[in-house]
Amino acid sequence: KGLYFFAVAGNNGESHNHNRIGNFTIYNNGKPVIIDAGVGTYTKETFSADRYKIWSMQSQWHNCPDINGVQQKEGKAFNASAVSFKQISEDKLSLSMDISSAYPADAQVRSYVRNWLFDKGKQEIKLTETYDLTSFIKATDLHFITSALINKKTDGQILLITGESAVRMSFNPEKFDVLIEEKTLDDTRFSRVWGPVLKRITLRAKSTDLKGTNEIAFRPEKL
């Protein structure tokens, strides 16, 4: 019942790796809301030098940012640092990590800390990001992958509907432009789990500031 949360630290050189440092998933009442697509049918390409040309292995198809237009890189050197898990109170848990080391030098990022606060009493998951760039090249994109039905009612509010339950995703509309695109699943290993399409919600940052903070909140809502 209620919210379930999972996140990834580690490094991008692990066995059967996907580039997804800082990726996270959210379920509500046992239903997937923010998801990890998983892996498709294994092919020769899966275990070759072209592995990271496969969309499902790339950080842009996980719940990770593209920083200055740059995705994460594969290899053990690309990792999470300063990982910290805390039980603040009986109902509040926090997880934080700096994911900047998961990106190559082209990303021009000094630090990029993701902190999740899970308030079980309020039934809320709040993602707070604090970043420090060395230069601005291109708007940062925050990606969120979902199989849910998307209902965008107002600016700064997206309702993610899964059957008889829903989760409202909230953010500051003055800080982001919203893009929603669909990924057709022609591999049955994906489609038998998620259906014919996945959706990617992208919050594209409007600011060109080198330092800043982003906040995105997830709360269950009755239909």
Size of the chain in residues? 223
DSSP string over 144-157:
EEE-SEEEEEETTE
Helix (H, G, I), strand (E, B) or coil at 190: helix
pLDDT number for residue 42: 84
pLDDT of residue 63: 98
pLDDT band at 204 (very low <50, low <70, confident <90, very high): very high
Q: Given this model, what pLDDT does residue 47 score? A: 78
With 80 as the cut, is the pLDDT of residue 197 above it?
yes
Percent of the chain with pLDDT strictly greater than 70: 100
pLDDT at 153 over 80: no
Indicate if the alpha-carbon torsion angle 202, 208, 210, 215 is positive or negative.
Answer: negative
* The pLDDT value given to residue 48: 82
Mean pLDDT value across the chain:
96
Q: What is the mean pLDDT of residues 49-65?
A: 93
DSSP run (H or E) holding 38: none
Looking at the predicted structure, is the pLDDT value of residue 143 above 80? yes
The sign of the CA dihedral 188, 194, 195, 201 is negative
Residue the block writes with tokens 């432009």: 177
Of 65, 70, 85, residue with least CA distance to 6:
85
As a three-state string, the secondary structure of 88-112 is CCCCEEEEEEECHHHCCHHHCEEEE
Per residue in 38-49, pLDDT tens? Answer: 999 988 888 788
Cross-sheet strand order for the sheet of 31-34: 3-7, 24-28, 31-34
Q: pTM here?
A: 0.96
| pLDDT above 90: residue 206 | yes
Mean pLDDT over 183-208 rounds to 97
Q: Which tokens hold the place of 41?
A: 């049918």
pLDDT given for residue 123 in this prediction: 96
- Token pair recorded at residue 49: 């030098």
In the chain, count of helices (H) and strands (E)? 1, 17
For 72, 77, 78, 106, 174, the CA distances from 148, given in Å and listed in that order, are 25, 34, 31, 33, 25
- Give dist(CA 166, CA 200) in Å, integer: 17
